Structure 1
Amino acid sequence: MLRAVSQRFKVGVENYLPNAFIFAILLTFLTLILGMTVTQQSLFEMTGHWYGGFWNFLAFTTQMILILITGYALVKAPPVEKLLIRMASIPKNQKSAVLITILVAAAAGYLSWGLGFVLGTLFAIEVAKNVKTADFRLLIAAAYTGTVAILPASITVTAPLLVNTPGHSLEDKIGLIPLSETIFSPTLLLTAFLGLLIVMYAYLKMMPKPDEVVPFEGESEQFKKPEKVNAVTFAEKMDNSRLINYILVALGVIWLFQYFSQNGFNLELNILNFFFIILGLALHGTPMSYINAITSGMPSASGILLQFPFYAGIMGMMAGSGLISVITEGLVAISNEYTFPFLSFLSAAIVNVFVPSAGGQWQIQGPIMVEAAQQLGISVSSAVNTVTIGDLVTNLMQPFFVLPALGLSGLGLKDIWGYCLVSMILLFILSGVIVTVAPLLF
């Protein structure tokens, strides 16, 4: 049944779904119009609010780019590549190929969403290269879906980390929310791990029949053994110096030991990025190897770099015009302490279709949900969790985060759309039940 449904969903969505940047532009227009019609702001006032907020996310933009790029650099480290090649040789048929791909992508996604999207795709390519009876399209979709499924409990999921980071935009209203109330809460843990089980079951049921399998064709160029560098000049020797590299790594390890000794397992975005940089340097062995990995991963961050200022501008218009207060009052009017979690989840799922980045969405929607939760007497951490889950589930419909996977694999959105959409429906149902019931149990 799931196989038939997934095939029906394979439509030419690229004809109707515009580029993620166009979504940001359209949302800008929509916010502008709403500000002028709902709050009676003039065009000049709204454009003033827009530019007033346009550059407010610069630090956050850098943090998000670093999570993605440092995750990519970890994947390109020779020890990690060697391990992935060895693991990719384990599965011998389509079923085992699907399961191990989902699990590897989920494990990487738990450590870092950027790492999960990149490593999962590269691992799926290597598995498809070795298992010719496995459908290449299915494996790429499985890797992406496995990462999305685990992200509610990922230690790099954006909103929980952000509200635990000193200096975040809402600190004066809500303070710092510990990870024990968000990432490690029963709500997010249940959503992630039950979701992962459902995804594994769904992909086994969606496997194409043997005569329908589209295998991987061509040679994989994603895993290359590092070339031995013949450093001749003094500059080349410095660039490829292991001594310099590991002295720097040692300094980083000393600081990390000091930090965690004093603060416990208290992750925030800056510490997480610092950890990934030090680990990446350690695994690459030389500064130049790490530089090359970072450079090759930079194109995947272009969407974040371009779009985040527009999200900041949208936030500026919503705050400056008073739209946030209008929306909050409307949400509170139709919500109570029992319905708010689901309505918060639903609104986040819808908004994510138009604002396909967790950071940008939280900066726009977070203040609304926090104020609504406070007015209803609901814990702010509950609002953070429901927005997080809603934001993540429709990533299986929105193409923004799957673009790196499509670029690495050479596939089109239509090749994996059906599988992702079926998975989204199943995860949406599960998530809706959990966010509604969990507050009554925990």
Structure 2
Amino acid sequence: MSTSKDLKTVSVESVHRPRLIGRVVYLFEQVVPDPFALSIGLTLLVVVLAAIAAPDASIPTILTSWYDGVFAILGFTAQMVLMLVTGFVVADAPVVRRGLSRLASRVTTPTHAVLLVFPVVAVAAWLNWALGLVVAAFLSREIGRRTRVDFGWLVAASFSAWSVCNSGLSSPIPLSQATHHNALNFVDKITGHVVPLSDTIFAPFVLVPTILVVVVMAVIFVLMHPNGGDIQAFLESTPNESVNHHARGRRASPAARMERSFVGVAFMLMMGVGYLVVTWSRKGFALDINNTILIFLLIGLALRGSPVAYADAIREGAKQTGSMLLQYPVYGGIMGVMTGTGLVGVFVKGFVAVANDVTLPVWSFLSSLIITFLVPSAGGHWAVQGPFVVPAALSLHASVARTAMGVAMAENVSNMLQPFWAVPIVAMAGIRLQRVMGYTAITFLVSLVIYTTALLVVP
């Protein structure tokens, strides 16, 4: 005889899957390879293009440029890894999880779920993309555990709310352009100047569509919730427990007391906050990649309360970083080949030939939609596209900030069909990717229209 859980599982898996979801699943599971394999294929494509079209494409130049690019981006790779794990630690802190649980306990209907998920996840993602991913997964699980909603729909709603992250404070594209001597600050390399965040993520042409996507998609998701027997509810799974890396037998030792003491945390907080106060008092308030990481590091330390608790949390967050450690150096190699062989100049001439100072940001946006499918990480993507869109903007006297953010905003859009960032959220939520991507295809279409319009008409 089947148990009630068995019956529930059978009923969930036997529900007819929408045709759109089936097509998206086929596209990403049967046609598109693993992102790391894809990055290798893109490297091959760029090498072939350089050999055919670049003015300085000798074999020694290609090989040397590739090698230099791989290792030139390692610092940026470490910055992005720290951005992820420090955001993860904040979202996974017990006090934050208890807060999410209390919020979820108020949800009784699908509409309530949408009204909670979209603002909470969007704000978290805007603050830090890693924080947003973890909040989206945890909040979806807490709501799904308590309320009868379609769980695939709920996770898709959370992922759609997360999509605005590349318009926020942790987006590597505007942050790198605001940071002097950053490996990916192509504006600084050419002009010696940086692009402040007031010209990018805080500009109306970015803020307006970001808010519109959250509001409009919240309404659409309320209308898209399945009815009756089509609802596929959340199925509880055994949660993964954090591993205690410190032996219980040494809890009374001097080393163990030091590990659990708040003194070390207090010292780090004093150093970090002191640095920010001194720097901002001298130079004015400004955010870049490094001080954004520092802020989340300090928040995580304060929430965890002891060095050993924070170290254990970092180990858990580091499990999510493997793909980034693999892919960023490969994208750096692509950037090296493009710049070292002169292939960048070929692309710049192509953009200059078809665009003007008004349309270049839109061309940057549209080309970014395609490149995102090949290079799904914003930092790696910028390493490929930045070297030719920034010189094109300077040549045409177009807005560099708008051109750069065209790339970032297209990341928001394409991520709804590119499974690279959906994988960690569905893994943390405990759901199959197939049940999510069909809904996010709608987010792709709606946000495509909103962001394109904003680039053209919003000042």
* Bigger mean CA deviation after superposition, 171-180 or 326-335: 171-180
Determine if the alignment matches structure 1 residue 205 to structure 2 residue 219.
no
Over residues 158-202 of structure 1, what are the superposed CA-to-partner deviations in whole Å (9 max), with x where a residue is unaligned?
111111012124213241111111010011101200111121122
Other structure's SS at 2:122 match: helix
Structure 1 residue 267 displacement after superposition: 0.3
For 2:359 and 2:135, the matched residues in 1 are separated by 38
Over residues 97-147 of structure 1, what are the superposed CA-to-partner deviations in whole Å (9 max), with x where a residue is unaligned?
12312221111101101110111111111111111x111111111111101
Q: Residues 362 and 306 (structure 1 numbering): CA distance in 2 closer, same or farther, change over 3 Å? A: same
RMSD: 2.1
For 2:377 and 2:84, the matched residues in 1 are separated by 12
Over residues 264-287 of structure 1, what are the superposed CA-to-partner deviations in whole Å (9 max), with x where a residue is unaligned?
330001101111111100010111
Determine if the alignment matches structure 1 residue 277 to structure 2 residue 294.
no
For 1:113 and 1:302, the matched residues in 2 are separated by 17
* Bigger mean CA deviation after superposition, 190-199 or 66-75: 190-199
Determine if the alignment matches structure 1 residue 58 to structure 2 residue 78.
no
Determine if the alignment matches structure 1 residue 100 to structure 2 residue 116.
yes
Alignment counterpart, residue 286 of structure 1, candidates 292, 306, 312: 306
Does the Cα contact within 8 Å between 1:10 and 1:418 map onto a contact in 2?
yes
Unaligned runs of 5+ in 1: none
Does the Cα contact within 8 Å between 1:98 and 1:142 map onto a contact in 2?
yes
Structure 1 residue 8 displacement after superposition: 6.7
For 1:242 and 1:208, the matched residues in 2 are separated by 49
Determine if the alignment matches structure 1 residue 185 to structure 2 residue 200.
no
Equivalent residue for 1:118? 134
Q: How does 1:39-438 map onto structure 2 within 5 Å? A: 39=54, 41-131=57-147, 133-148=148-163, 150-169=164-183, 170=186, 171-174=188-191, 175-219=193-237, 221=239, 231-438=251-458
For 2:294 and 2:443, the matched residues in 1 are separated by 34
For 1:105 and 1:320, the matched residues in 2 are separated by 41
Q: How does 1:13-52 map onto structure 2 within 5 Å? A: 13=27, 14-39=29-54, 41-52=57-68
For 1:201 and 1:373, the matched residues in 2 are separated by 36
For 1:4 and 1:309, the matched residues in 2 are separated by 38
* Bigger mean CA deviation after superposition, 402-411 or 368-377: 402-411
Residue type of the alignment partner of 1:375: S
Q: Residues 219 and 31 (structure 1 numbering): CA distance in 2 closer, same or farther, change over 3 Å? A: closer
Does the Cα contact within 8 Å between 2:361 and 2:404 map onto a contact in 1?
no
For 1:73 and 1:377, the matched residues in 2 are separated by 42
For 1:200 and 1:5, the matched residues in 2 are separated by 23
Other structure's SS at 2:418 match: coil
For 2:300 and 2:98, the matched residues in 1 are separated by 15
Does the Cα contact within 8 Å between 1:10 and 1:415 map onto a contact in 2?
no
Does the Cα contact within 8 Å between 1:406 and 1:412 map onto a contact in 2?
yes
Q: Residues 258 and 5 (structure 1 numbering): CA distance in 2 closer, same or farther, change over 3 Å? A: farther
For 1:11 and 1:172, the matched residues in 2 are separated by 41
Does the Cα contact within 8 Å between 2:178 and 2:194 map onto a contact in 1?
yes
Other structure's SS at 1:110 match: helix
Structure 1 residue 331 displacement after superposition: 0.9
* Bigger mean CA deviation after superposition, 5-14 or 195-204: 5-14
Residue type of the alignment partner of 1:207: H
Structure 1 residue 234 displacement after superposition: 1.3
For 1:7 and 1:46, the matched residues in 2 are separated by 41
For 2:38 and 2:208, the matched residues in 1 are separated by 31
Other structure's SS at 1:300 match: coil
For 2:106 and 2:430, the matched residues in 1 are separated by 24
* Bigger mean CA deviation after superposition, 286-295 or 246-255: 246-255
Over residues 48-71 of structure 1, what are the superposed CA-to-partner deviations in whole Å (9 max), with x where a residue is unaligned?
321121111011001100110000
Structure 1 residue 223 displacement after superposition: 9.1
Q: Please, what TM-score do these two structures have when normalized by structure 1?
A: 0.93
For 2:396 and 2:54, the matched residues in 1 are separated by 24
Residue type of the alignment partner of 1:248: M
Q: Residues 332 and 374 (structure 1 numbering): CA distance in 2 closer, same or farther, change over 3 Å? A: same
* Bigger mean CA deviation after superposition, 420-429 or 377-386: 377-386
Other structure's SS at 2:117 match: helix
Unaligned runs of 5+ in 2: 1-16
Does the Cα contact within 8 Å between 1:128 and 1:136 map onto a contact in 2?
yes
Residue type of the alignment partner of 1:165: T
Over residues 36-59 of structure 1, what are the superposed CA-to-partner deviations in whole Å (9 max), with x where a residue is unaligned?
111263444422321121111011
For 2:238 and 2:301, the matched residues in 1 are separated by 25
Q: Residues 7 and 317 (structure 1 numbering): CA distance in 2 closer, same or farther, change over 3 Å? A: closer
Structure 1 residue 5 displacement after superposition: 8.0
Instruction: Count how many residue pairs are aligned between Structure 1 and Structure 2.
Output: 433
Structure 1 residue 372 displacement after superposition: 0.6
Residue type of the alignment partner of 1:22: A
Does the Cα contact within 8 Å between 1:349 and 1:394 map onto a contact in 2?
yes
